[in-house]
Structure 1
């Protein structure tokens, strides 16, 4: 039964992707893009990390997009608890429909509590990420983005972040 179900699902998905439209394709009139990323992590000492970063963009040209991105993350372990919210503008330039370079300015609001020492910090930090990456089409006008960004404002002594280098994986619909 399991083999029959798998075969039926494969044939059904194949028929969905094999449809061909006849005639000219209509011009796209919607220039809005939507996407973002989700992160999840586990570690020692009961560490848990959850992050979401939705984004809304607008295609200024076929290769240039600008918009707003938000970020929220929640971290907890046996020794600390942290919540962080961020928001700011971004701009991406796409070339060869496979690569992109971009800039992202984020202003973060940080709430940190050390459970062991009963130490609390409420602060703010601004980050300017510059970088780029590779895009893989996953269907129609939807893409998965794999990239690497660097926070050029990062300073080891005064930052809430452990590094200025940030790998990212995200999805974009509407390009």
Structure 2
């Protein structure tokens, strides 16, 4: 069931993003924004990570945007595997369409399996990310965002995350 839901989530978010990206430049008075990011990583012990984070926002003013952000992440190594889903609101403030300040809250649903100790866990975790970054225009109303966020709710030895610091790269259409 989770595989079906994940597949549908990715297909729907991808199709929404592609449809909006095509039509966004034609309608400059539209206040809706769409975007997100896709990431992957490799490491020792056959570590592999694949993640996607679609987002939909609404311009409250020309410089303030609020919306909903989702995320899905798969991690696998010789020692463990995990699947994580997250959802929550975000708020971005744009400074001269060159920089941004952002806040987003995520509630994560985590399924974890330790292959060495034959241990399985299903857990939840909350995160409140605060940060900002740089924006580069890549089209009429499309931008690439490069920034860094910090999870102010992160606690060492209590979190499934190894650090509270999170670099990010994403795209947004409709600004």
* Deviations, residues 138-167 of structure 1 (Å, cap 9, x unaligned): 011000000000000000021000000000
TM-score (norm 1): 0.84
Query: How much is the aligned-residue C-alpha RMSD, in angstroms?
Result: 1.1
In the alignment, which residue of structure 1 is the partner of 2:79?
79
Against the structure 1 CA distance between its residues 27 and 106, is the aligned structure 2 distance closer, same or farther, given a 3 Å change threshold?
closer
Deviation at 1:78, TM superposition (A): 1.1
Alignment of 1:56-135 (within 5 A): 56-135=56-135
Deviation at 1:121, TM superposition (A): 1.2
Q: How many correspondences in the alignment?
A: 150
Deviation at 1:28, TM superposition (A): 2.5
TM-score (norm 2): 0.84
Q: Which has the higher helix share?
A: 2
Deviation at 1:27, TM superposition (A): 7.7
**4+ aligned runs moved over 3 Å, structure 1:** none
Q: What is the CA–CA distance in structure 2 between the aligned matches of 1:53 and 1:113, rounded to whole Å?
A: 23
Q: What is the CA–CA distance in structure 2 between the aligned matches of 1:122 and 1:27, rounded to whole Å?
A: 44
Alignment of 1:30-49 (within 5 A): 30-49=30-49
Say if 2:139 is the partner of 1:142: no
Find the structure with the greater CA-based Rg.
1
* Structure 1: stretches of 5+ with no match in the other structure: 1-25
* Structure 2: stretches of 5+ with no match in the other structure: 1-25
Q: What is the CA–CA distance in structure 1 between the aligned matches of 2:163 and 2:27, rounded to whole Å?
A: 44
Alignment of 1:12-23 (within 5 A): none
Q: What is the CA–CA distance in structure 2 between the aligned matches of 1:55 and 1:114, rounded to whole Å?
A: 31
SS in 2 for 1:139: coil
SS in 1 for 2:104: strand
